[in-house]
Amino acid sequence: MTLKDTKPGMTVRIDSVGESNLKQRLMTMGLIPGTRVEVLNSAPLGDPIAIRLRSYNLAMRRDDAAQIEVSEVG
């Protein structure tokens, strides 16, 4: 599953950040394998999405989220 396929309210753990132009920026913002991510709300039409990680909220586009492999946690 990728972060793109998640729904608001889900909590997931990052398995890999994937390869993209944004990779280093995503990692700098704390998206590292093992990080817990809560999926919050989304903009009109469902894109971009807002997520919560490391006690702060971040918005990103679904296309970029599609690069990030995640698995659901309790």
Partner 1 sequence: MSALSVALTGNPNTGKSTIFNELTGARQKIGNWPGVTVDKKVGVIEHNGRKISVIDLPGTYSINARSQEEQVVSDYFKENKPDIVVNIIDAANIARNLFLTIQLMENGIPLILNLNMIDEAERHGIKIDMKKLEDAFGMPVTNTVGRSNKSVRKLLDVFTNAVMSNYKPSKLISEHIDKVHNIKRSGLSAAKIEEEIISARYDLIDKIMAQAVTVSAAGKTLTEKLDSFLANGVSSLLFMVAIFYLMFQIAFNWIGQPLADLVGEFFDETLAPAVAESMAEAGVADWMQSLVSDGIIAGVGAVINFVPLIFTLFLCLSFLDGTGYMARVAFIMDPIMRRAGLSGKGIMPLIMGFGCGVPAIMGARALDTHKDRMISILVTPFLTCNAKVPVLMLFAAMFFPDNAANIVFAMYFLGIAVAILMAKVLSTTTFKEHQSTFLLELPPYRLPDIKTVLLEAWEKGKGYLIKAGTIIFAMSVMIWFLSNFNSDGMTEDMDTSYLAGIGSAASTVFAPQGFDTWEAGAAVVTGIMAKEAVVSTMGILYGTDELSTEDEDLEDSANTLMATSLGGAFTPLAALAFMVFTQLYSPCMTALGTIKKETQSWKWMAFAFFYTCAVAWVASLIVYQGGKLLGFE
Interacting residue ranges for partner 1, rule: CB under 8 A: 21-30, 32-33, 35, 40-45, 47-48, 50, 54-61, 64
Nearest distance from C-beta of residue 24 to partner 1, angstroms: 6
Closest distance to partner 1 from the beta carbon of 60 (Å): 5
Taking CA 28 as the corner, what is the angle to CA 22 and CA 30, rounded to the nearest 5 degrees? 105
Give the angle 72-18-8 at the CA atoms, nearest 5°: 35
Strand partners, 69: 2, 16
For partner 1, give the closer residue by CB, 25 or 72: 25
